[in-house]
Chains A and B, each alone.
Chain A
Amino acid sequence: MRLPGSQVPGNGTFPACPGQHSPGAGCQKTAPPLVAPGNQRGRPPAPAHGPQRPPHRGSGLLKGYRGGHVVIRFALGGCTNRPFFRIVAAHSRRARDGKYLEQLGCLDPLPNAHGERLAGLNLERLRHWLGCGAHLSRPAEKLLGLAGFLPLHPMTVTGAERLRRRRRAQEAVAARADGSPGPGPAP
């Protein structure tokens, strides 16, 4: 009985090593084992170029994710009852406050002594990341719309209209309640 791998490759016969798909490809391993080295449970080793797992990186410090994209979003920091946002370019699969690629700015949502909410934006790096194909989170889009860097977000406009409608409704209710104070609510 012939052992697998003892055949000369390229003949269209069954593959020399398990896991070889194309008959024309040469065998990389010197001694064709029945079980791949290090794989004690008998699982086939990962293909050299497969979509499922990213290539193995030397240090165990870099986390490998499946899919995902670069996002420009807010990372929350600060203390209790004192939020502070950093505008950050990060992988979408990362934690909100976790490791990011680059900090592109900051936003202080609480007004300062002059009644202003400060936001700093590194527009040059923002343009770079947008050019690299980064997505934007909705609050980031709204902020950039307010800043004038992007056109105004439609939800900003919609939110303003809804607020106005709600206020008008409340005013109408209040006016009606003032106008007819006689008949109170039924007991």
Chain B
Amino acid sequence: MAALAAWGSAAAPGRLSRALWGCRARRGLSQAAGPADGGAAGRPAFTDEAVQRLLRSVTGLDLQKVFRPRKQELRPPRYRLLTEAQLQEATRKAIEEAKEKLIMPPVLNEREPIDDVLAEDKFLEGMETTKYVFTDLTYSVPHRERFIVVREPNGVLRKATWEERDRMIQIFFPKEGRRVIPPVVFKDEHLVTVFQQDRHEDILNMCIAQFEPDSPDYIRVHHRTYDDIEKHAKYDLLRSTRHFGGMVWYLVNRKRTDGLLIDMIHRDLLDDATSLITLYHMLHPECQSAKEAKAGNLQGADLIKVFAKTESQKEGYIQLALQAYEEAMATSTAS
């Protein structure tokens, strides 16, 4: 799997593509949020400022992990002698850069398939044996609005499907880190091997480089990764990466937060645990623990206890973990 290491380092997208995500995600969400809003009025979306703040706080900011050494061009190391003030300034700049690196990739609904026929010329049937794919190469047109049409051998002129579109755009406007035909590693049987090697972050980086955020492959790979992490409780692999927010969003939407909660309490991250439960209440305001929390205006450990009692399946584990944490706190304050 040496190829994975190379792709993992090359696949971090540049600022330009992230800026494009911003407008595409907003555009995509404005299309996708329509039916979602119609279904549950006022339901918070992934890009809401409150939701993003909670997800960012849960993700954490471990500078050692964000700036860990990765394969790049070989350069001799540079050592600098700094005063205290300069060191603080350098740390502050590093934190800014880390925040930039931790911007979360968009979470969109799956795109609707395109089936739009522009013309039917039945008398052309039988002339050709293979189809023609015409791509508009105008440079100033955004890729989402590009005209890509297919003339079938039976004379039908139709718009190209999403897979054909992605392939054509990659052929004529190649993007770094993306291949014309998606690598075989994204198939389900090969993802298992990747997960056994604990390379969830690398495969997610590759997936972001290869697929569009609303393509079914992107969503499938992300969901498989999150499911595997939740099954084996490997939450720490994604902590302090840009994928953690998406994982938390996925789990909270499906009410499978118990493992994550226990993991946070084990690592003494009570604030993260309370943020998680706040997010849960934001997304499921009709659940019982949300009502109790709002009524009693609970904070901290009480919130977790109420949540464990009402909403979770692994109540016993959560209470055990909380007990262990409180004992540890008591001994540390005592000693």
Contacts and interface: CB of A to CB of B under 8 A. Distances in A.
Given A159-B127, A161-B123, A122 B137 contact: yes
A123 B147 CA distance: 10
Interface residues of B, number: 29
A119 B126 contact: no
Contacts of B331: none
B131 A116 contact: yes
Contacts, number: 74
B132 A119 contact: yes
B135 A117 contact: no
Contacts of B127: 156, 159-160, 163
Interface string B198-231: 0000000000000000000000000000000000
Contacts of B157: 146, 148
Nearest to A113: B181
Interface in B86-142: 118-119, 121, 123-127, 130-140
B243 interface: no
A114 B130 CA distance: 9
Given A159-B127, A160-B126, A147 B151 contact: yes
A122 B171 CA distance: 15
B149 interface: yes
Interface string A98-124: 000000010000010011111111111
Q: Which residue, of B119, B149, B151, B157, has the highest number of chain A Cβ atoms within 10 A?
A: B151
Contacts of A119: 132-135
B32 interface: no
Contacts of A161: 123
Nearest to B160: A116
Nearest to B138: A124
A148 B126 contact: no
Nearest to B181: A113
Q: Which residue, of B119, B136, B139, has the highest number of chain A Cβ atoms within 10 A?
A: B136
A178 to B, nearest CB: 22
A123 B151 contact: no
B168 interface: yes
Contact of B151 (A120, A146, A164): A146
Interface in B140-176: 140, 147, 149-151, 157, 164, 167-168, 171-172
A114 B140 CA distance: 28
Contact of B138 (A115, A123, A147): A123
Contact of B124 (A105, A122, A124, A160): A160
B137 A120 contact: yes
18 contacts: A116-B130, A117-B133, A118-B133, A120-B136, A121-B134, A122-B137, A123-B136, A124-B138, A125-B138, A146-B132, A147-B134, A147-B149, A148-B151, A156-B124, A159-B127, A160-B124, A163-B126, A164-B126
